[in-house]
Amino acid sequence: MHKIKRTLTYKTVISIRYYTSPMSKEKPDIKIHLPTADFVRQCVRSYYSTQQIPVVSHVQNREFGSILPGRSMWRHIAMRDMNALQDFLVTNCPAHMYYSSAYYEKPGARTMLDKVWQGADLIFDLDADHIPGAEELSYKEMLESVKEQFIKLLDDFLLKDFGFEQKDIGIYFSGGRGYHAHVRHESVKKLNSHERREIVNYITLPEKDISRLVRMETYDVTEYKGRFSKKEICILPDPESSGWKRKLRNGLFEYLDEGQDRERKAIVKELVGFEGIGKKGAEDIWTILFDGDTETCGAANIKRSNRLEAFDNDQLRDKFLRFILDRRTRKMAGETDEPVTSDIKRLIRLPGSLHGKTGFMVVELGLDDLKDFDPLKDTVWKGFTGETDMMVLADHDFELLGENWKLKKGEEITLPTAAAFHVILQRKARVG
């Protein structure tokens, strides 16, 4: 195996005056192979020496946190300006770098009370780990799935329902398994934790009250021995409806369209899995909606009339509509990380920083960029040039920069430095 010539040049920082907290003196939590640690440090320092971190709004009012290789979180760090932040990154080569969603009068103070909270951005964090069935997906598939949900969160909730403009929202790939949205509109900065939790509750709709979303129309009233009974038809929201009324209608129509192309077995299996429907209920729903000709079945009648006349069992109808809402909730909002959104003092990944478990950049994006965005290509720094010799520590298959690699434990291999950096951070290989 050939030796690699490393010709990286680094910016030299003699002293840093802006940090307000000493570095943790704790012993490293893990043992790192020294040549590997040196290689990682060189890669990180080369990146931060060359790449200018995007400007952080109100940088002097943010708390910063950092995890250095082998150490725990070091926080309560204040930065006087962007130059101080850049110098910190070059000097310390952090594995992970964070900054607060909150603004403080004294961000470097050791206690939260002494910091004096002044407001906070509204943060949404969608992570691939929260997607149902994620364990069966490849890393690339997980990233694609969470991106689809994130786009719908932005478009259907933040822009349409809440009325924010694109300029109010910072959109970021986290560098790992998900996406972040930072809402910086003045109207959200003073919201407390309870108010932010209400926003999450609107998005995830934990209480699926059908009566608030549909209209019941009486079409027959009968009397028997002085008692009256009535029959009602469930009327769906109008196409012009907003909020969850629109989502219920659109979600139902999408399901009806998809169902006509799906197998009965798959539909029944999906319905059985929803609380309260059961096997018989699932079979009945399929018969009501999809049995018969595509032009005359229940699904076709619902789409024509905007009414749920096909259901003569009110309880089964409402269970089915709750199923649609539940499906729409996951599909539209994903599993928004409620603790992140409701936390008014949260540390979130610093845009432009490197993720210490992947080596990918935390990239800022425009809404129009998301559709074609490929993290496995677009977040790999092009400055990682040349090749690196490695010893593989565990079997590992991965894709990066449009290429696929299959590594076998114990083999010696030479990879492009960008791929080597990624695999080493995954702890699947070491240098030399």
Which residue among the candidates 121, 168, 337, 343 is catalytic per the annotation? Answer: 337
Listing DSSP states for 25-39 in one string gives -PPPSS---HHHHHH
- The amino acid present at 87, given as its one-letter code, is D
Do residues 320 and 298 lie in contact, with contact meaning Cβ atoms separated by under 8 Å? no
For tokens 């719908």, the residue is: 152
Beta strands in 321-362 (DSSP E): 347-349
Residues 301, 307, 310: CA angle, nearest 5 degrees: 55
- Read off the tokens for 177: 């398994």
125 is catalytic: yes
Nearest to 275 by CA among 312, 320, 333: 320
Do the beta carbons of residue 415 and residue 2 sit within 8 Å? no
Active-site position among 87, 127, 168, 318: 127
Is 161 catalytic? The answer is: no
> 430 near 394, Cβ under 8 Å?
no
**For 241, which DSSP code?**
-
Q: Determine whether 312 is an active site residue.
A: no
Q: Which residues contact 419 (CB under 8 A, 6 or more apart)?
A: 398, 400, 401, 403, 405
CA-based nearest residue to 122, from 203, 47, 15: 203
How far, in Å, are 7, 62, 135, 324 from residue 274 at the CA level?
59, 44, 20, 10
Distance between CA atoms of residues 274 and 51, nearest Å: 49
- The residue from 125, 168, 284, 343 that is catalytic is 125
Task: Note whether 46 and 385 are within 8 A (CB).
Answer: no
User: Closest Cα partner for 333 from 226, 181, 210, 228?
Assistant: 181
Catalytic residue numbers read 125, 127, 337
